Structure 1
Amino acid sequence: MSTQVVILAAGMGSRLGRTLPKSLTELSDGRTIMRQQHDNIHAAFGHTAKITTVVGYKLDYIIDAFPEANYVYNEQYDVTNTSKSLLRALRRTKPGGVLWMNGDVVFDPTVLVRATNLVQRDQSFVTVNTSKVSDEEVKYTTDAEGYIKELSKTVRGGLGEAVGINYISSRDKAALISHLQRVDDQDYFERGIELAIEHDGLRVEPFDISDLYAVEVDFAEDLERANLYV
């Protein structure tokens, strides 16, 4: 079965100060952030991987740049957060697990190559970086068995940061969809994962990629840092 991949790229990305969608920001190697993501997806899962992109702000630019992808429109992109974009995408996917990522993450191709084992096992996971724990980032804790327990920006005593690349298994997808429906419009998708863990007992692995690069590009300094790697 082809790997199902979702890219969340509906937002305006105003903090970066660009006129185009943030995912179309050009990197120092000439590729856009989204092109780097597509290349990484194909390197790990082949060209049969099914990529669905959630669009909103200036969607035509993204569709024109990647006509081969499938698209889901979040018409409320300016008043909702990633929880509702992911919800729209998951509802449109076929049976089976789904890998998804934020559309502004520049990351090492090896991340997805390593993740193939977890995807093949159909094991839900959240990709994490344990080398730093910043107050403004989504952080996590684990339970006694090593699975994710808490996942939010308000976590105390976080073990690391969530990177923005995740997978929900075929058996866990319905529970995540249910909780994404219930969370507030301004919640990040991590809130849906956290509630599914709490109420449905989802066992979500922290997938540590601390030795690899993964940069969420929110500000100009993030872009500068990402360009050091590509």
Structure 2
Amino acid sequence: MTLQTVILAAGMGSRLGRSLPKSLTRLSDGRSIMGQQHDNIRAAFGKGARITTVVGYRAETIVEAFPQADYVYNDRYDQTNTSKSLLRALSATGKGGVLWMNGDVVFDPRILGRAIALIERDQSFVTVNTDKVSDEEVKYTVSQDGFVKELSKTVRGGIGEAVGINYVSSGDKRALIRQLHRVDDQDYFERGLELAIAEDGMRLLPLDISDLYAVEVDFAEDLERANLYV
């Protein structure tokens, strides 16, 4: 299947303490984080999958490492958060649905295989882990019909964490773009999703991948944990 995918990799990733963009951090198997993401995307969706990467900090290093990808530049990468990077990407990807991921997530390739059925149905979703609920992570709750109701770091009584791999359907895309325009520069993209749910009736499914690995690499200990899997 041909699919439009987006990787959000504009930030500086200063908490990891590396000079290169965090997505270029080397894993124990020799690949970079972004290299593993590219491999996983191609394995699930074929070589024809289109990959658009949002770059900012030291953009030239990512472009040099992955010249075959398409690029969108966030020239305000040091002043904005993932909401505005995603906005730029969605605005550049036409009318179809988009699978996107944070550029610092090391994840089991089977996650994308599990997502194929929902993508083929053009059903918006967020991948979630229900095994843990940390205060500093993006958490979620669901409505009575099983769709996501709340999605943010400030959710109380969250039943799991968002993993950072998501899909917006062709039908929901316009509403999400509109809400991403509205949110503050420092908001995460989850704020746009939450507003689209509340104001536009977006039906966002939680896709449980708790039995598979997905590690967001913010600190050195996260990288150590990710290397246990790859």
Give the alignment's TM-score, normalised by structure 1.
0.99
Paired letter, 1:103 = G
**Residue in structure 2 matched with residue 117 of structure 1 by the alignment:** 117
Gaps (5+ residues) in structure 2?
none
SS of 1:198 mapped into structure 2 = helix
Give distance in 2, aligned partners of 1:117 and 1:3.
13
**Residue in structure 2 matched with residue 45 of structure 1 by the alignment:** 45
Give distance in 1, aligned partners of 2:203 and 2:197.
7
Distance apart, 1:60 and its partner CA = 0.3
Paired letter, 2:83 = S
- C-alpha distance after superposition, 1:62-105 (max 9, x if no partner): 00000000000000000000000000000000221000000000
**Residue in structure 1 matched with residue 68 of structure 2 by the alignment:** 68
Give distance in 1, aligned partners of 2:156 and 2:143.
14
- How is 1:208-219 mapped onto 2 (pairs within 5 angstroms)? 208-219=208-219
**Residue in structure 1 matched with residue 196 of structure 2 by the alignment:** 196
**Residue in structure 2 matched with residue 157 of structure 1 by the alignment:** 157
Paired letter, 2:5 = V
| Structure 1 segments of 4+ aligned residues over 3 angstroms from their partners | none
**Residue in structure 2 matched with residue 127 of structure 1 by the alignment:** 127
Q: Is 1:97 equivalent to 2:97 in the alignment?
A: yes
**Residue in structure 2 matched with residue 79 of structure 1 by the alignment:** 79
Give distance in 2, aligned partners of 1:217 and 1:151.
20
**Residue in structure 1 matched with residue 27 of structure 2 by the alignment:** 27
Q: Is 1:181 equivalent to 2:181 in the alignment?
A: yes
Give distance in 2, aligned partners of 1:213 and 1:133.
15
Give distance in 2, aligned partners of 1:202 and 1:179.
12
Gaps (5+ residues) in structure 1?
none
- C-alpha distance after superposition, 1:10-46 (max 9, x if no partner): 0000000000000000000000000000000000000
* CA root-mean-square deviation: 0.5
Give distance in 1, aligned partners of 2:224 and 2:66.
25
- C-alpha distance after superposition, 1:114-140 (max 9, x if no partner): 101111100000000000000000000
Give distance in 1, aligned partners of 2:68 and 2:30.
20
SS of 1:166 mapped into structure 2 = strand
SS of 1:212 mapped into structure 2 = coil
Q: Is 1:57 equivalent to 2:24 in the alignment?
A: no
Give distance in 2, aligned partners of 1:66 and 1:120.
27
SS of 1:2 mapped into structure 2 = coil
Counting matched residue pairs gives 230
SS of 2:195 mapped into structure 1 = helix
Task: State percent identity of aligned pairs.
Answer: 77
